[in-house]
Amino acid sequence: MKALRFSSSLPQYALLKALGSRSKRLFYKGPLATVRLADVTEPELPAPDWVKIKTSVCGFCGSDFNLVFLRESLTASPFISYPCTLGHELSGEVVEVGSGVRGVGVGDLVTVAPHLGCSARGIEPPCRSCRMGRPANCENFAEGNLAPGMLIGLCRDVGGGFAPYLVAHEDQVFRLPAGVSHREGAMIEPLAVTVQAVLDNKPDKHDQVLVIGAGVIGNLIVQSLRALAADCTVAVAEPSPFHANLAARAGADHVFSDGDILRHATELTGARAYKPVMGKTVLMGGFSKIFDTVASAGTLDASLRALAAGGVLSMVGIGKGVMTDLTPLWLKLQTIKGVYCYGYHDVGGGRKHTFELAIDLVKHKKVNLEPMITHTFRLEDYKRMIEVNLNKGEHAAVKTVVSFA
C-alpha cells in the first residue's frame, strides 16, 4: 500500500537548512524531500490488545507541517524514529481486533488518541505520568517494545493516518457515536488538545481571557472556552482577517488584527501601562489567562507583559529557541503552563479521557467542526496540500485533510 513517509538524515538536514530558504519546494519535491509516497507493507496486529483500522480521513496538523520543513526542536529528536508514516488526526473503520480487545469491534467507526504510552509499549508497571492519567506525557517514549515515538505518525514501528490502514492499541481507540461524521472524527484530536488546555487553565466568569492566534487550535480554544467556560470574556489576537472573522463567529467577544496586544490589553482590561527607561512597556493588570497558540519569542514577551498579577499563561503552541525578558514572571507572580495533548479526568463519579469529553461536545453540537475542514485531498495530491498550507490566507484554508473514501 502507498503511505506518506517522512525521513531525514544529517546531510539532508544540513543541505535543506542551507538551501531551503531559497525554495521551500526542496522540502517536499526532488531528491532532498523529507516526505514522499512510498510502498509499505499493510500492517498486522502487533499484539492481542491491538486493532487494525481502515483510514477514512486524516488531517494535516501544524506539527506535520513543521516536521516536513524541519522546524521542530531537536530536543524532541530522541522521541521520534523514522522513516515513519505521518498523520495522527484521523478517523476510520475497525477491520480487525485482537483476541484481548474489549469495547470495540469490527465495523465500528473510531478515532485514535495517538499517544504511545506505557500500555502501547507493553511496559509494566506504568510510569508516573501514565499513572497520573497523562499517557500523552509518558516518560517511556523511547522505551519498551516499540521504536521511539511520542505519537503514531512519529514512530517507525507504528504507521500513521496518511495510509489506507494502520494499527492502534485498544487504549488509544475511541468509538464515534451516531451523528458524528468521519470528517468530524478526524478533528477530535485537535479539539481534545484545546479541551485539555482549557481544563488545565479553566477561566471563571470574572476572568478576561486572551487567545493569541486563530488558526485551527486558536479557533478550537475559543469554541472550547465557550463550551466549558461560557461566561468569561474572550479576546483574540490574529493578523489574518479571514481567520480573525472565523474567531469572531466561534464566539470571541473582541478580535484585533493589528498585533498591538499591549494597547488592546489596556483598553479591554483597564490595565495601566508603564514605560521603562529602555525597552517595551509593561502592564500592571491585564488579562488573567492567556492561551498562546503561536509560542514565538514575540508572543511570549507580549503575553508576560499583558498578563495580570497571578495570571496563567498556557503555551499551546510549540516554539523553539524562545528567549525573552522574564521580569514580568517574577514581578507579577505569573505561571507558565506547558500544554501538550490530553489525559484522563474525574467526571460525574467516573473517569473519562479528554477524547471522550471532546466527542461528547461534538455529539451535543456544542462545538462546530465541519466548517473548519476547508480543503480535501487525495493522498497522491499531498504536495498540493502542503502548498495550500504554505499560503493559508491566500487559499482561505483552515484545516486540510486527506480522504480515503
Q: 7-22 burial by CB neighbour count: b if 16+ within 10 A, else e?
A: ebeeeeeeebeeebee
For residue 321, the model assigns a pLDDT of: 67
What DSSP element (H or E) covers 87? none
* 2-6 and 84-85 strand pairing: antiparallel
* 89-97 and 109-112 strand pairing: antiparallel
Sequence letter at residue 281: T
Q: Which residue, among 82, 85, 7, has the nearest Cα to 39 in the 3D structure?
A: 85
- Locate 211 and state its grid cell: 487567545
- Residue 375 near residue 397 (C-beta atoms within 8 A): yes
For residue 308, the model assigns a pLDDT of: 97
For residue 116, the model assigns a pLDDT of: 97
> Residue 168 contacts by C-beta under 8 Å, 6 or more apart in sequence?
50, 51, 53, 112, 152, 158
Cell match 496538523: residue? 61
Tens of pLDDT, residue by residue over 209-242, are 999 999 999 999 999 999 998 889 999 999 999 9
3 φ/ψ angles, rounded to the nearest 5 degrees: -140, 150
What DSSP element (H or E) covers 74? none
pTM exceeds cut of 0.75 = yes
Q: Cβ-count burial of 323 within 10 angstroms (0-12 exposed, 13-18 middle, 19+ buried)?
A: exposed
- Domain boundaries defined on the chain: 2-187+369-403, 191-338
User: Which numeric CATH code is attached to 191-338?
Assistant: 3.40.50.720
Helical H segments across 112-187, by residue range: 128-131, 182-186
Q: What phi-psi label fits residue 87: left (phi over 0), alpha (psi between -120 and 50 degrees) or beta?
A: left
State the Cα angle at 263 between 257 and 268, rounded to 5°: 90
Tens of pLDDT, residue by residue over 147-196, are 999 999 999 999 999 999 999 999 999 999 999 999 999 999 999 999 99
Q: Which residue, among 310, 347, 353, has the nearest Cα to 328 in the 3D structure?
A: 310
Q: Choose which CATH entry (3.90.1150.200, 3.10.180.10, 3.90.180.10, 3.30.300.30) describes domain 2-187+369-403.
A: 3.90.180.10
Q: Is the peptide bond before 83 cis (omega within 30 degrees of 0)?
A: yes
Helical H segments across 308-380, by residue range: 327-331, 354-363
Written as tens digits, the pLDDT of the chain (405 aa) is 999 999 999 999 999 989 988 899 999 999 999 999 999 999 999 999 999 999 999 999 999 999 999 988 778 889 999 999 999 999 999 999 999 999 899 999 999 999 999 999 999 999 999 999 999 999 999 999 999 999 999 999 999 999 999 999 999 999 999 999 999 999 999 999 999 999 999 999 999 999 999 999 999 999 999 999 888 999 999 999 999 999 999 999 999 999 999 999 999 999 999 998 888 899 999 999 999 999 888 999 999 999 999 999 999 987 766 778 888 999 899 999 999 899 999 887 888 999 999 999 999 999 999 999 999 999 999 999 999 999 998 899 999 999 998
> Residue 363 contacts by C-beta under 8 Å, 6 or more apart in sequence?
177, 179, 180
